[in-house]
């Protein structure tokens, strides 16, 4: 058994949650009390196995740590392969997913009252789809997992969400499907040309296509991924979905689902269509810049804490897109880092807001005040996470944002410096809206009216909640103090990816093949650059 898991660890990571989730779904209602224990044990087990098996893996000279390849089926002449692979680009995202699922389950332990059995079962099924999408290399397989992610999330929002849950769930579903269905046309166009769903084959075929076609295809790819990120002006589903989703759903939505967009750009859109990606870099950088500033300004005006955090996501994910659009190794590394750190800190913020809501049954900022004196432990965690979200040095948020800004500044683009300078004001605005919210909620006089939120806050965090938050805080500092654990893994992948994208056409698509010696040299150079940049 152990041997089998070792040889098929990626398959195991996808199918273990699938079977576990289906098992939980099949449990009778009377046993739903056990379901959350089973869900927690199952997801923790998956995380432990993932960490134990994946971390010791060493990349081969193609940068791939582990891969599984088997023919799946051939549908009317186009083969579909069961191709999973793990490399520096998805290693930490996989681990983050496996980590956040048990954390979110434990964080939402008592907040789901009705039909909790189905809730946790769907949560585990969602983990299956997310891990599948992160690991799939064949685009048909990726598409199936990508769409399959929607279904559990749709039900999580629509069944267990807030008062506007049906509207939010439908909006989430239709927005995301709109992007991915149009992307499907582009995908099929590439697939029938290449007679394959392998990104490498597609990239080879793209070289001979006219530039206008590449642009259309890239826009279709980018639409699907940009909606997921979400990039301004396609972000409007996010505040609704985040606000209405139950706590655990928001945490996993912010923590992992949004990352799929950025990951899709780095994994598929840019390597397959590098010329068009380079051509549109400017446009995406400007949209990212708008998202950073606009998200922050809208967050500032929010009355609902959860909605504030949701808009801060728009702003933070703008940094991810800016880093990707900068087309520098430092910027892309920053995007990877920002995705990880946003996953940890925003996931943590949503869990904290959920804990507050469970006690006070309100999320309005004006209902609080003076929470610090009633809930000191909660305040400690909230402040730490807030500082990390602002991007204070020593915390994770700083690394990502700094690398992104640095990468944008040094990028060869004419707009690089201007955009970097303006974008850095996003960090400042971030500090404004977060600290202002903290001031109004935690400090100041208590809101003494009997119906207010503070009046309901009788108990501080219990042991379970502290146990949930502690690993997140540890991770925040770990990522801030020793980022090389995370950036080191993605470095070679990102470097090769960008070199291929900027290389003249014949050398392109090397991302999928063996790199030569010169590339390895430059890898080391840029690695040093990044380290210096981060310091």
Partner 1 sequence: MSLTPNETAAILPLAIPAVAACLIPIASLDRDQSTQKWIRAAIFAIAIIALGASFWYTTRIWGSGMQPSYRYLSLDRLAQFAAIFVQISAVYAVLQLWDHLHHEGWVKGEILALLLFSVVGMMLFAATSNLVLMFLALELFSIPLYALTAIVRVRTKAFEGGVKYFLTGAVASSCFLMGIVLLYGMTGSFDLNVIAQSLAKGVLDPLALLGAALLLMGFVFKVSAAPFHQWTPDAYEAAPHPIAGFMSVATKGIAIIALIRVFGAHLVPIAEIGSRAQTAFAALAVITLIIGNLAALSQTNFKRMLAYSSISHAGYLLLGFVAGTTEAHQAILFYLCSYLLMNLGAFGLLSAFGLVGDDTQFRDMRGLGWKRPGIGVAATICFLSLAGIPPTAGFIGKYLLFKELILQGHVVLAIIAIVASLVSVAYYLKPIIAMYMEPPKEDSEPVIAPFAGATVLVSGVLIIVLGLIPGRLLDGLVKPSIIQVQGGAADAEVEVVEISLEELSPNQLKDSF
> Residue numbers of the site for partner 1 (CB under 8 A)?
25, 73-78, 115, 143-144, 147-148, 150-151, 155, 158-159, 165-166, 169-170, 173-174, 177-178, 181-182, 184-185, 188-189, 191-193, 195, 208-210, 212-213, 216
Both structure tokens of 245: 């989703």
Q: Which is nearer to partner 1, 37 or 73 (CB)?
A: 73
Q: Which is nearer to partner 1, 216 or 478 (CB)?
A: 216
| 8 Å CB contact between 96 and 75 | no
**CB-based burial of residue 367 (10 Å sphere; 0-12 exposed, 13-18 middle, 19+ buried)?**
buried
Q: How many CB atoms lie within 10 A of CB 103?
A: 27
| 8 Å CB contact between 318 and 426 | yes
Distance of closest approach, residue 357 Cβ to partner 1, in angstroms: 21
Distance of closest approach, residue 25 Cβ to partner 1, in angstroms: 8
Q: Which is nearer to partner 1, 154 or 357 (CB)?
A: 154
Q: Which of 116, 133, 272 minimizes the C-alpha distance to 190? A: 272
Both structure tokens of 289: 């810049």
Distance of closest approach, residue 104 Cβ to partner 1, in angstroms: 21
Q: Which is nearer to partner 1, 245 or 320 (CB)?
A: 245
Distance of closest approach, residue 381 Cβ to partner 1, in angstroms: 33
Distance of closest approach, residue 491 Cβ to partner 1, in angstroms: 34
Which one-letter DSSP state was computed for residue 445?
S
Q: Give per-residue burial for 340-360: e unless 16+ CB within 10 Å, then b.
A: bbbbbbbbbbbbbbbbbbebb
Q: Which is nearer to partner 1, 166 or 482 (CB)?
A: 166
Q: Which is nearer to partner 1, 75 or 463 (CB)?
A: 75
| 8 Å CB contact between 154 and 169 | yes
Phi, psi of 138 (to 5 degrees): -75, 135
Integer-rounded Cα radius of gyration of the chain: 22
Q: Which is nearer to partner 1, 1 or 26 (CB)?
A: 26
SS3 68: strand
Which one-letter DSSP state was computed for residue 231?
P
Both structure tokens of 188: 């099929």
Q: Which residues touch 149 (CB under 8 Å, ≥6 apart)?
A: 126, 129, 130, 133, 257, 260
Lookup result for tokens 């500090």: 431
Distance of closest approach, residue 360 Cβ to partner 1, in angstroms: 25
Task: State the pairing for strand pair 64-75/78-87.
Answer: antiparallel
Q: Which of 406, 392, 390, 384 minimizes the C-alpha distance to 487? A: 406
Q: Which is nearer to partner 1, 164 or 521 (CB)?
A: 164
Distance of closest approach, residue 155 Cβ to partner 1, in angstroms: 7
Q: Which is nearer to partner 1, 81 or 499 (CB)?
A: 81
- As a whole number of angstroms, the distance between CA 488 and CA 511 comes to 18
Phi, psi of 65 (to 5 degrees): -90, -35
Distance of closest approach, residue 459 Cβ to partner 1, in angstroms: 31
Distance of closest approach, residue 24 Cβ to partner 1, in angstroms: 13
Q: Which of 239, 307, 242, 253 minimizes the C-alpha distance to 101? A: 253
Q: How far is residue 191 CA from its own chain's centroid?
A: 27
**Angle, CA of 240, 297 and 339, to the nearest 5°:** 65
**CB-based burial of residue 44 (10 Å sphere; 0-12 exposed, 13-18 middle, 19+ buried)?**
middle
Distance of closest approach, residue 109 Cβ to partner 1, in angstroms: 22
Q: Which is nearer to partner 1, 56 or 210 (CB)?
A: 210
Distance of closest approach, residue 513 Cβ to partner 1, in angstroms: 22
Q: Which is nearer to partner 1, 70 or 76 (CB)?
A: 76
């Amino acid at each position: 058994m152990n041997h089998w898991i070792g040889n098929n660890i990626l398959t195991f990571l996808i199918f273990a949650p699938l079977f576990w989730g289906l098992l939980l779904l099949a449990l009778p209602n009377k046993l739903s009390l056990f379901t959350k224990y089973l869900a927690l044990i199952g997801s923790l087990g998956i995380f432990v196995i993932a960490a134990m098996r994946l971390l010791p893996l060493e990349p081969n000279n193609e940068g791939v740590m582990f891969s599984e390849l088997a023919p799946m089926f051939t549908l009317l002449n186009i083969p579909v392969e069961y191709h999973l692979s793990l490399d520096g680009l998805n290693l930490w995202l996989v681990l983050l997913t496996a980590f956040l699922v048990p954390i979110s389950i434990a964080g939402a332990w008592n907040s789901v009252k009705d039909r909790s059995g189905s809730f946790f079962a769907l949560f585990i099924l969602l983990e299956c789809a997310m891990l599948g999408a992160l690991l799939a290399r064949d685009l048909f397989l990726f598409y199936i997992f990508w769409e399959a992610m929607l279904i559990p999330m749709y039900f999580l929002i629509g069944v267990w969400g807030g008062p506007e849950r049906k509207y939010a769930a439908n909006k989430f579903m239709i927005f995301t499907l709109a992007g991915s269905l149009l992307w499907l046309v582009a995908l099929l166009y590439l697939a029938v040309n290449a007679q394959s769903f392998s990104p490498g084959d597609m990239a080879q075929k793209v070289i001979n296509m006219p530039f206008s076609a590449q642009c259309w295809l890239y826009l279709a790819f980018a639409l699907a991924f940009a909606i997921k990120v979400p990039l301004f002006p396609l972000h409007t589903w996010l505040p609704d979905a985040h606000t209405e989703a139950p706590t655990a759903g928001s945490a996993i939505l912010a923590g992992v689902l949004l990352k799929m967009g950025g990951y899709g750009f780095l994994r598929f859109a840019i390597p397959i269509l590098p010329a068009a990606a380079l051509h549109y870099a400017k446009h995406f950088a400007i949209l990212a810049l708008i998202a950073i500033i606009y998200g922050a300004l809208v967050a500032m005006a929010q009355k609902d804490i959860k909605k504030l955090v949701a808009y801060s996501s728009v702003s933070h994910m703008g940094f991810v897109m800016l880093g990707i659009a900068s087309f520098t190794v430092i910027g892309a590394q920053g995007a990877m880092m920002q995705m990880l750190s946003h996953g940890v800190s925003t996931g943590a913020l949503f869990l904290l807001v959920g804990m507050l809501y469970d006690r006070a049954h309100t999320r309005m900022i004006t209902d609080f005040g003076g929470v610090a004196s009633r809930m000191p432990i909660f305040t400690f965690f909230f402040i730490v996470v807030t500082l990390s979200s602002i991007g204070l040095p020593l915390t994770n948020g700083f690394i990502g944002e700094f690398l992104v800004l640095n990468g944008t500044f040094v990028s060869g683009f004419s707009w690089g410096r201007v955009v970097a300078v303006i974008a850095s004001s996003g960090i400042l605005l971030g500090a404004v809206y977060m600290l202002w919210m903290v001031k109004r909620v935690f400090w100041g006089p208590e809101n003494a009216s009997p119906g207010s939120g503070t009046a309901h806050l009788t108990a501080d965090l219990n042991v379970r909640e502290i146990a949930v938050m502690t690993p997140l805080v540890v991770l925040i500092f770990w990522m801030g103090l020793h980022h090389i654990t995370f950036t080191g893994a993605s470095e070679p992948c990102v470097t090769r990816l960008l070199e291929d994208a900027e290389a003249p056409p014949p050398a392109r698509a090397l991302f999928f093949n063996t790199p030569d010696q010169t590339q390895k040299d430059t890898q080391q150079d840029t690695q040093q650059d990044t380290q210096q940049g981060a310091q």
